[in-house]
Structure 1
Amino acid sequence: MSMGDASDSEPVNNAEAEVTPPTSKRRRKKSMVWEHFTVEAVAGGCTRACCKLCKQTFAYSSGSKIAGTSHLKRHITLGSCPKLKDQERKHLALTSGTKNDGDTTDLPTKRRYRYSGYANAAFDQDRSCNNLAKMIIVHDYPLHIVEQPAFISFVESLQPRFRMVDVNTIQQEVLTVYQSEKVNLLQVFSSCMPGRISLTVGLWMTNQTLGYISLAGQFIDTDWKLHRRMLNFMLVSSPHSENALSEAIGVSLLDWNMKDRLFTITLDNDCSSHDIYSANLRDHLSNKNALMLKGQLFVVRCYAHLLNVVAHDVIASIHGIIYNIRESIKFVKASLAREERFAEIALQREIPSSKTLSLDIMTQWNTTYLMLLAASEYKQVFTDLETCDDNYNEAPSPDDWKKVEVVCVFLKLLYDSANAVMAAAEPTANIFFHEAWKIQVELTNATLSEDPVVSEIAIEMHEKFDKYWKDCSLVLSIAVVMDPRFKMKLIEFSFSKIYGADAAKYVKVVDDSVHELYQEYTTQPLPLTPAYAEQGEPSNFTANGNENNNRLPSTPISTGDGLLDFDIYLSEMSVNHSTKSELDQYLEESLVPRIQEFDILNWWKLNTIKYPTLSKMARDILAIPVSMVGTGSSIFGSGTGSRVLDEYHSSLPPETAQALFCAKDWLQYLPTMVEPPPSSNAIVKMEI
């Protein structure tokens, strides 16, 4: 008996056949059980709880002893009450196939939610099995959890009536969940994706010679919300082969009814093979898909992968020094006495730093940067510690610390850029141009430094970054042109910093490409969905609310001011004068003020009627996933290169592995599965 149950009741002293549980001015019965029971007084000063529906009675109090309410709850929730079970059966028959949690009409509306909570708790073997499969999918539990004795005992303690399934059955249930969610997602694609789709391609290696290719699609829906969804997780014999990749993409597009809607693919392959890789993919897929702008935008390299590769190269350039710093921090943290001694020396040296020494996670380069940054502020303390402690001899030299400081300057460039991308409210393609061109300029200038330490590191970084810039600057530039705060103006400004006297030539390349791409959208528009067509159709009303039939009146209406000829002249001019294209109008208009809260997708949503064709182009461009790292994930981790599938998932049948990976991605957007991520959630969760 719980304390709460005991406080819910008071002795019943009257002898009425049936009474409502007494109410105190200070305390009221809080248990919802009392919506279904009344209290009857019986002989000997005892009371019994009577079910309002089936009239069965249960012991409640005997003198001063209270029996509690647990047994009463079981009567309601476990389906023991025959009347309640019958009501629930009728209720389910009325509401089957809907999501309404409504209740039977004979209960007061005020109590409907409470009652439905009890009624929906009735045991359902199939529903429980389905929820078990979803739990396994979402939380990456192994399928054989259903055979683990401890888990079986736990489930039996919650619901003895549940018949635990075997591995084969739960595997089939996982496949059922996958198929059901796939059907839902297909419906979403058909109704909510008016434009093209861009893919991200990930490689997963196994402990065998086989591997998997993961494909995720990113698009902007009819309401101008950005989405990314896993499409396929396919077993291939040679995942690094262009043929295998193009075949996987072709199969996936056909499977999802998108064979004519592919816009770009984003890869994280090594920059040295990008040219050949891109050309082969274009050749394989161009026969099946109409590639925009002659395929110049087709293959995009992952920006996050570039940051990781360059950062790890910088760290590797001083790996010996970093090893000494790691060992030094381990030495200090090995005992409380050493930490106190270290702090005492820092106090004597009057070092103002508030940073705390910490060890890094070697697979996450941002933690290495923060470790070096903190350690460099205590460099003199490490030197002093070495002179006063014979057990410590790992202190870096002054030249070592100088190299650490230079490395920290370069890592800060990458670190700040990565954080800016992750902090973006909407990871649309336009945000990456800012980060890329700033780093390109900084590295170009650093290669000319007279300091050999600076120039040596900068040259190595610049080699990889310059290759990325040459490969991807066009797609990044076109994306930022679609940002009304910058348009071509930022291209002109940034290119003058990068190319100097040759800037005009490169600016023209971008301008010509934007116009050429726009022409493709005017001559070969994609079929419009009804929702999109409504937005894009010319309004039947002018700005002042008068009906516009899109034709001139047969007889000009005189204004009474003697300017009838002038009115005719204006009418003829409006007919004969060829108007500028949407793109030229957009580019010539003033820039939108740069405010921190600016929402580029909402801006295009509001300007869709003004720019019906250009908005289609902007929708596809802004949806390009320049980074393969999803919202809420860290760029700094090891998840942007080829990943290794663990031994358990490698042993699963390919169709089961695909069901687990894809369904996990899809289920996270159901509010009943996982709580939504923090406010930085930019890939909008679409309920389906």
Structure 2
Amino acid sequence: MCVTAHYIDNEWVLRKRVLNFCPISSHRGVDIGKALEMCLLKRGMESNIFTITVDNASVNDVAVAYLKSKFANWENSILKGKWLHVRCTAHVINLIVPDGLSHIGNSVDHVRVAVKYIRQSPQRLTKFKEFAEIEKCMSTNSLILDVPTRWNSTYLMLETAQKYERAFGRYDNEESHYREDLDKTGVLTSTDWANVRRLAKFLEHFYELTLKVSGTLHVTANGFLDDITFIDAILNNCLCSDKDKDLVSMANLMKSKFDKYCGGLKNCNMATIVASVLDLRNKFEFIEVLLGDMYGNIEMKSMCAIIKASLVELYEDYVSIYAPEPTSMCDFSDSPSSSNKRSKSVVMEPSSMLKEKVRMEMKRRKSESIIQDSKSELDTYLNEDVEDD
């Protein structure tokens, strides 16, 4: 089990450190949770843990639930671990895409067989490169054979192969054994190439998004809402396609898996939504537009109310933990001056005592009014204009 910490240092630089890398004796969720708990305790990190990001294995749900029960008793645990569990976006994408690829048809298999055939022999590869030069294929990349269980390698295979379409065609025309050896299963047709180009363009969105969310030198949480909105838009566009039934079928399967992990607020960690609001370019105006496009204005308003309440809850939790002790503006009775005045009240005239009491009450009410009328830092932030990109 590898445990990696991400934190911002005193110079506001994002850091990444491996805390632990060790074998674990059990893959039960509770045991994983205990192993992670011991790692944090040994490091003296039983406070200030905000979120834990894991992949979507069911045992990890159990592990995080165990840790959440422990975090409730740890010092400075933000919201008592309420937003502790974050699902890895890159892993969600890795679950969504293969579901669709499994129903895309035979074109991917044809490319795989053809690429494998060329790469099996140095002589074939040399001949293929000669044909690529003759056909002026504008690519210097080598042919890539994918690992079928890793969709991103399938994308890279298709993306590279399509650039050599004319070279594959010339190889087929000039090498008589090509068709015989493949028994026609890897002979690529114009229909196959059309499918490959369309599929590669579709998968490119998810490949680029995977690279984006896997970044470790910059904060990625504030882009989460953009990312899931982008995926939703891509899938919806494919579902509206009336030209490619395979792509529609693929998008349907992917949309079902997407909704399972990212559909609606209930399936998202609120910390990632709040992170988008805390992006100076976004705030609530951005959230309203995105959610309005995805769910309609009525549902958007109820969602924004939930997000606002969550944001205030988080802010108040930080205030309770980190805000400096307030000066005793209200409790004048405990101040040294009031104590002296109380000791002198024995010899004060009744009229003076009454006047002092009135003055103290006036001060108390004034201080309460100032506190009630003042805006919090959060309110001030939300009311300021957004920044440009």
TM-score (norm 1): 0.43
**2:298 is equivalent to residue 505 of structure 1:** no
TM-score (norm 2): 0.73
Paired position in structure 1 for 2:143: 358
Distance, in Å, in 1 between the alignment partners of 2:205 and 2:29 is 33
1:476 maps to amino acid: T
Q: 1:302 to 1:358 in 2, by over 3 A?
A: same
1:328–1:395 Cα contact (<8 Å) kept? no
Q: 1:537 to 1:327 in 2, by over 3 A?
A: farther
Q: 1:321 to 1:235 in 2, by over 3 A?
A: same
Paired position in structure 1 for 2:354: none
**2:44 is equivalent to residue 253 of structure 1:** no
**2:51 is equivalent to residue 264 of structure 1:** yes
Q: 1:249 to 1:359 in 2, by over 3 A?
A: closer
The alpha-carbon deviation at position 265 of structure 1 amounts to: 0.9
Paired position in structure 2 for 1:587: 382
Paired position in structure 2 for 1:438: 230
Q: 1:457 to 1:277 in 2, by over 3 A?
A: farther
Pick from 110, 119, 141: which aligns with 1:330? 119
Pick from 31, 34, 49: which aligns with 1:244? 31
Q: What pairs with 1:165-180 in structure 2 (closer than 5 Å)?
A: none
Per the alignment, in what secondary structure is the counterpart of residue 250 of structure 1? helix
Distance, in Å, in 2 between the alignment partners of 1:504 and 1:269 is 30
1:400 maps to amino acid: D
Paired position in structure 2 for 1:401: 193
1:217–1:231 Cα contact (<8 Å) kept? yes
Per the alignment, in what secondary structure is the counterpart of residue 241 of structure 2? coil
Per the alignment, in what secondary structure is the counterpart of residue 227 of structure 1? strand
Paired position in structure 2 for 1:340: 130
Paired position in structure 2 for 1:302: 88
Distance, in Å, in 1 between the alignment partners of 2:216 and 2:65 is 32
2:83 maps to amino acid: L
Paired position in structure 2 for 1:486: 282
Q: 1:277 to 1:325 in 2, by over 3 A?
A: farther
1:325–1:375 Cα contact (<8 Å) kept? no
Pick from 413, 432, 454: which aligns with 2:247? 454
Per the alignment, in what secondary structure is the counterpart of residue 260 of structure 1? coil
Paired position in structure 1 for 2:313: 516
Tell me how large the CA RMSD over aligned residues is.
3.5
Q: 1:266 to 1:422 in 2, by over 3 A?
A: closer
| Larger helix share, 1 or 2 | 2
1:305 maps to amino acid: H
The alpha-carbon deviation at position 389 of structure 1 amounts to: 2.5
Give the length in aligned residue pairs: 335
Per the alignment, in what secondary structure is the counterpart of residue 400 of structure 1? helix
Identity of aligned residues (%): 30
Higher relative contact order (CA 8 A, sep 6+): 1
The alpha-carbon deviation at position 479 of structure 1 amounts to: 0.8
Distance, in Å, in 2 between the alignment partners of 1:242 and 1:469 is 23
Distance, in Å, in 2 between the alignment partners of 1:576 and 1:479 is 28
Per the alignment, in what secondary structure is the counterpart of residue 386 of structure 1? helix
2:14 maps to amino acid: L
Distance, in Å, in 1 between the alignment partners of 2:260 and 2:6 is 25
1:440 maps to amino acid: D
Paired position in structure 1 for 2:211: 419
Distance, in Å, in 2 between the alignment partners of 1:231 and 1:338 is 48
Q: 1:537 to 1:223 in 2, by over 3 A?
A: farther
Gaps of 5+ in 2: 180-185, 328-365
Q: What pairs with 1:132-147 in structure 2 (closer than 5 Å)?
A: none
2:144 maps to amino acid: L
Distance, in Å, in 1 between the alignment partners of 2:11 and 2:133 is 57
2:315 maps to amino acid: Y
Distance, in Å, in 1 between the alignment partners of 2:219 and 2:372 is 41
Q: 1:507 to 1:219 in 2, by over 3 A?
A: same
1:433–1:476 Cα contact (<8 Å) kept? yes
More displaced 10-residue stretch of structure 1: 289-298 or 400-409: 289-298
2:283 maps to amino acid: K
Gaps of 5+ in 1: 1-212, 539-570, 595-688
2:54–2:60 Cα contact (<8 Å) kept? no
Per the alignment, in what secondary structure is the counterpart of residue 230 of structure 1? strand
Distance, in Å, in 2 between the alignment partners of 1:309 and 1:379 is 30
Per the alignment, in what secondary structure is the counterpart of residue 236 of structure 1? coil
Q: 1:263 to 1:380 in 2, by over 3 A?
A: same
Q: What pairs with 1:71-82 in structure 2 (closer than 5 Å)?
A: none
